[in-house]
Chain A
């Protein structure tokens, strides 16, 4: 199965600054990669699919890029509500797999 490695495990950023989260696949997943946001006690929320397409209602400060094995989720200007855990998922190859997550915390 395809292994997704997210880095860093924890990222400390100040509000208003830019954050870049990485997801690396052990083999190519084309552009079949999604990003999710998780907050305690809440359902995970789809942010990005197809590596770069924002889901409905997702603010434009969230953007996804990459293809093949290297992907990045960028949050251009962090808001207080953006501090959460972010996970990537590949759905190119069965079984689908997730990364271990990156915790984005307030600096």
Chain B
């Protein structure tokens, strides 16, 4: 059963770059879409973007200028970088796998999240 584990610094200074990784264990990374989602305390979930296991990415328009997602298939590792952070970026950051459906011998992709990590808390403060 696939499991996801986010990790990274819990404290980042304003204007610096937030960097997180997500270790994928128990399953393939290269043939799925993977999303990053964040949740400020007491607020709703915000989808940040996704990448396919081959490296193709789609970013949320609101974060596109600051976010970079990448994948290292040799290490089964996903990475998230968010530049020029402010206090508004303080949140619990999740990685999640998007669903893949087998129909008629072919895979199709549906962009709901069927597996989530437990999240990594990041605070932006000097």
Q: Identify the A interface with B (CB < 8 A).
A: 1, 32, 34, 36, 41-46, 49-50, 55, 87, 89, 91, 94-101
Question: Which residues of A are found within 8 Å of B118, using beta-carbon distances?
Answer: 41-43
Contact with A along B20-50 (1 / 0, CB 8 A): 0000000000000001010000011111000
Question: Which residues of B are found within 8 Å of A34, using beta-carbon distances?
Answer: 112-113
Which of B4, B61, B114 is the one whose CB lies under 8 Å from A55?
B114
Q: Is the CB of A99 within 8 A of B44?
A: yes
Q: Is the CB of A45 within 8 A of B60?
A: no
The distance from the CB of A36 to the nearest CB of chain B, in whole angstroms, is: 8
Interface SS, A side: loop
**What bracket does the count of chain B residues touching chain A fall in?**
20 to 34
Q: Is the CB of B44 within 8 A of A101?
A: yes
Interface SS, B side: strand
Q: Is the CB of A95 within 8 A of B47?
A: yes
Q: Is the CB of B119 within 8 A of A43?
A: yes
Q: Is the CB of A46 within 8 A of B119?
A: no
Q: A43-B116, A46-B113, A49-B112 are in contact. Are A87 and B47 (CB under 8 A)?
A: no
Asked if B99 is at the interface of the complex by the 8 Å CB criterion, the answer is yes
Which of A97, A100, A101 is the one whose CB lies under 8 Å from B47?
A97
Q: A45-B116, A98-B45 are in contact. List 9 more A-B contacts (CB 8 A).
A: A34-B112, A34-B113, A36-B113, A43-B4, A43-B116, A89-B47, A91-B111, A96-B47, A99-B44
Q: A43-B117, A91-B110 are in contact. Are A49 and B99 (CB under 8 A)?
A: yes
22 A-B contacts, Cβ less than 8 Å apart?
A1-B61, A32-B110, A36-B113, A41-B118, A43-B94, A44-B45, A44-B96, A46-B113, A49-B110, A49-B112, A50-B110, A55-B114, A89-B47, A89-B112, A91-B111, A91-B112, A95-B60, A96-B47, A98-B37, A98-B44, A98-B45, A98-B47
Contact with A along B98-114 (1 / 0, CB 8 A): 01000000000011111
